[in-house]
Structure 1
């Protein structure tokens, strides 16, 4: 009897697993667009990420605590005789915070980590009337400068790896401890693709 009960429980659990995995795949963060462009002053990557901000993260933002996102891109040159060579790497750091006095959302964008006063001096600041508008700006990672054309190379296609994540390491210490193991804070997306180098329109 016990063996039969155990078998029923196992079959039930196994029946839930594919549904759960499918739901995660459908709702999980993903990189929906990547575009490589050549301009007069270098080569740029534009990407778009799709995800829903969990309510727990929204609650933290509403309390005036900033959250941080990181976007990273790498370009590799394929070599038939050896491992691929990395020819470019760039990182963008984003800090999103609610300003209670103005009731607006501020987004800081910087090529270096924004910690304390570091990063603010080289950051681009944008203000938004709603969290939705601010998140749209976070999800559109535009014009990441990868380098000069001479650095990237003039091949017909380039192997590009793009990563996007919520950086919990910059949260206040009590929150860092509290988010361990919580799926709501695990916002990560990655995509690797061969992209043609398009002329800037």
Structure 2
């Protein structure tokens, strides 16, 4: 007896409906990722540098600025529990060079430490030219406030901060100032650093650039 086997050709290509469903799922996933990233960017960029100016004097270049920002909810909550928060203010000055990339002629930094004492209900703002070490506050300028709003108002105003010596600035040459303000997570206790990295609720960062041509000091 002869047995005949019949085979039905089977295509290795997925049906069009499956490809369409896969494309829809991929598009939805990408859209969700973009929306989440956009939300993180929006939260990180909350606030602005409202005013930024420089003034050249005989002994150097001075910066004044007005900032507008609000503390993220997680940051304020940690502060009210007695955990100090640290901030970094940075000003970089670059001089134009037509034959190569711009040359950095100054990099000034200012470190802020904001803390709250639950027992006295007082806010304390310390300012230092160097990071705050574990051994103490070092040489700093300290101010006390009754309200958080007053402490933040002091942080938002920068008046005549010397960011460069006179010898570093060339009169008549084009310069660029890059201003940067951020919550400095690197100075938080290690457990907070690990938990805060990448979380939008811990993002606070402001940036602004300014082009200027220094004139001779009056």
Give TM-score scaled by structure 1 length: 0.83
Q: CA RMSD, aligned part only?
A: 3.0
For the pair 1:82 / 2:100, whether they are aligned, the reply is: yes
Q: Residues of 1 paired with 2:50 and 2:216: CA distance?
A: 21
- In terms of fraction of residues, the more strand-rich structure is 1
Q: CA deviation at 1:29?
A: 3.6
Query: In the superposition, relative to structure 1, how do residues 15 and 200 fare at CA in structure 2: closer, same or farther (>3 Å)?
Result: farther
- Structure with greater Cα Rg: 2
| Gap runs ≥5 in structure 2 | 1-16
For 1:173, which of 190, 198, 208 is the aligned residue? 190
Q: Residues of 1 paired with 2:179 and 2:172: CA distance?
A: 19
For the pair 1:127 / 2:126, whether they are aligned, the reply is: no
SS at the partner of 1:155? coil
Contact (CA 8 Å) 1:71, 1:91: kept in 2 or not? Answer: yes
Look up the match of 2:10: none
Query: In the superposition, relative to structure 1, how do residues 104 and 196 fare at CA in structure 2: closer, same or farther (>3 Å)?
Result: farther
Equivalent residues in 2 for 1:148-167, closer than 5 Å? 148-155=165-172, 157-167=174-184
Q: CA deviation at 1:185?
A: 1.1
Look up the match of 1:70: 88
Higher mean C-alpha deviation, range 63-72 or range 167-176: 167-176
For 1:39, which of 57, 60, 70 is the aligned residue? 57
1:36-70 per-position Cα deviation (integer Å, ceiling 9, x unaligned): 01234321112233222111111100011100000
